[in-house]
Chains A and B, each alone.
Chain A
Amino acid sequence: MTNAQATADLPSEDTSTMRPAAGPWQIAMRRLLRKRLAVAALVLIAFFYFVGLFAPLLAPSDFRDQNLEETLSGPSWDHPFGTDRLGRDQLSRVIWSARTTTIVTIATVLTGSLILSVGLGMLSGYLGGKVDTVIMRAGEAFGSLPALPMLILINATMRDRVKGWVDNLEGWLSTDQPLFYVIFGVLALIGVAALAAWLLAGSGGRSGAWLALAVTSAGAILALWGVQAVFAMPGASDYFLIFGALSLFFWVGGARVIRSQVLALRETEYVLAARSMGAGTWRIIVSHLLPNVSPIIIVGVSASLGAIAGSEIALTFLGVGVHDPTPSFGALIFDASSQPVIRNHPHLLIAPAIVVGLLIFGFNLLGDALNDVLTPKAR
């Protein structure tokens, strides 16, 4: 720490002769890698997400393949975790369940933890006044509720409707539709045009707005492609309902922390300096506030991952999450935890329960470690 600071404080003329100073992120990374448990958790989580992302390639068979002659068989070389009551390979179902968890956690983090909580937290803290009141009161209303019963209510009542919406959207967005390619083409044209405008404007009049437009349209193309791919999956509406409902409840904590941090940062001298030089709200938020709250964002996201994964599993367990045949750990554990099955076929419980236990434990360990590493108070 002291070394790094000393290096950073030196005048910049001398930097050519010495090692470049370690940035705060590198320091944090080194600290994190020194914690053995955290590294173990990181490896475990990375492995889990790898399995989740490449489930179609890794699973020995499809999650729907039934073999009614081999139902409820014990572990064997063909089926390392045995088979369930429909003769489906339990190993494949566990691997595909990892995919469900992967999709739901990533989607919820992107919408609930990143867009909603960071966006609302920063707006609330920076703008203050009425905006702040409205956002924080809404957060208080959501935060004062027990999330699980509300999630059950939303998922139980809204399922058919969301399915209708998603089917509808899927029709609009599918690659069979000419409209899809039209939107795609328009976005691509805007992107290329904006990039060209930025490049051709010459060094004097280069405006960041054109580049931003190009980047935005490229992002929109990627998002469109990703959403289309998600829509085309079986059980897509369940995923949307779950992460939509989860996002509604998971933004509150993060938004509060970010708001309080922004409230403090807003009064710092460099923000005042930026404002007095005529920087707009948007510029101050993006280039002055965001870098300073990003450690908190990472801590918040890592802390919420376990809760999000756990909530999806819990909802599916309660029959209002992902529906059969789409596999989820919740469904696997539910099927395996009824008394006759536990009594006669305990092997069905072992694999999914251990994977879920390790995953949630890993998320918690990593969250704690990141909190130690990134939060200045804890150092």
Chain B
Amino acid sequence: MEGLLAYTVRRLLWAPVILFIVSFFAFSITRLGPVDTVDVLAGPRADEEAKERVRQELNLDKPIYQQYGIYMTNLIRHHDFGESQTIYRGTDVWDIIWPRILVSMQPGIVALVIAFSLGTAVGVFAALRQGTWMDPVAISSFLFFQSIPVLVSLPFLVLIFVVKLGWLPAIGWGGPEIDVGPQEVSLGIFSRHIILPALVLSLPGVAGVARLVRATTLAVLGEDYVRTARAKGLPELEVVGRHVLRNALLPLVTVIGLSLTTLLEGAFFVELILGIPGIGQLGFQAAQSRDYDVILALVLIVATAFIIANIITDVAYTFIDPRIRFGAQQGQ
């Protein structure tokens, strides 16, 4: 167990270091990168005195590591990401981002569930039909979806299902609302607004899951215990369900982190084209109107979520898979 423990501890100790590097990098870029921060904040008609005041309020006159220290202290002590400077001037950044995270998560979760269940089904199907024409056809038809970028497929789907057929609602986000503090959030997950984003976000991920499941299922199908199960006359469904799937699905844990990336990047285009008020849309607005602190907060939140997800994936994988765990024990 010691090797595993050491690995886990090393991963966990490494996390704050990466977080530090990333946050310092992102912070320095937002503070040192733009040439016009003060001009944007003080407004177009500000005189030198007003600009100087803004500079002092934002601590822009201090060296960068002090600014970083102040920002991080506020962030950790008071969960204070600062204030929006242009889009919603004066509003707390966290109050803007939090409802939008809740909106963005809805298509994301649905898409993740679809991608994994459909991918598993396709992968197992292809593995059981290995050697027939159905195997390559099943996999490669989803490979096609993987190769088409979201920003190409989505406008076409809108053209077909919204404009020509009129089956789906035009743009926007709706459904029952819940109160989350600063404002209300629509649960579009219970409305027809969820269909298009969930479809577009999940389809590109199916092929990856299907390929992995196919490979692992094929490997498990060759194991002795599967032959034993078949030899003792278990029905095929039970062999696949109880003996094959259980072992073949373990490696799927490793691609969850990867699919999060795809989902997040897809969310930008989906939210922009369909007008869903999530973090992708907010990122776009912030970049357009140079609300640097909003972008910074978004990047910090997303990056932290990613780093944590990656670590959990790595560690969970080593803990879940008994082969790795017992392998480590025998190595003692």
Contact = CB atoms under 8 A, between A and B. Distances in A.
Interface in A141-162: 141, 144-150, 152-158, 160-161
B155 A333 contact: yes
Classify the interface of chain A: helix, strand, loop or mixed.
helix
B310 A144 contact: yes
Contacts of A144: 18, 306-307, 310
Given A140-B18, A337-B155, 8 more contacts: A146-B265, A146-B303, A149-B299, A153-B299, A314-B149, A333-B155, A339-B162, A360-B149
A334 B29 CA distance: 27
18 contacts: A141-B21, A144-B18, A145-B306, A146-B261, A148-B264, A150-B303, A153-B295, A153-B296, A158-B33, A160-B34, A160-B35, A161-B34, A164-B35, A318-B272, A319-B287, A337-B155, A342-B159, A353-B152
B36 interface: yes
A301 to B, nearest CB: 18
Contacts of A339: 158, 162, 170-171, 275
Interface string A264-278: 000000000000000
Contacts of B284: 318-319
Interface residues on A, range: 35 or more
Contacts of A343: 163
Contacts of B296: 153
Given A164-B35, A314-B149, A361-B148, A153 B154 contact: no
Interface in B281-319: 283-284, 286-288, 290, 292, 295-296, 298-299, 302-303, 306-307, 310
A153 B26 contact: yes
A357 B148 contact: yes
Interface residues of B, number: 52
Interface string B133-150: 000000000001011110
B158 A342 contact: yes
A160 B290 CA distance: 12
Contacts of B287: 152, 155-156, 318-320
B81 interface: no
A288 to B, nearest CB: 34
Contacts of B171: 339
Contact of B158 (A154, A318, A320, A337): A337
A197 interface: no
A149 B298 contact: yes
B59 to A, nearest CB: 17
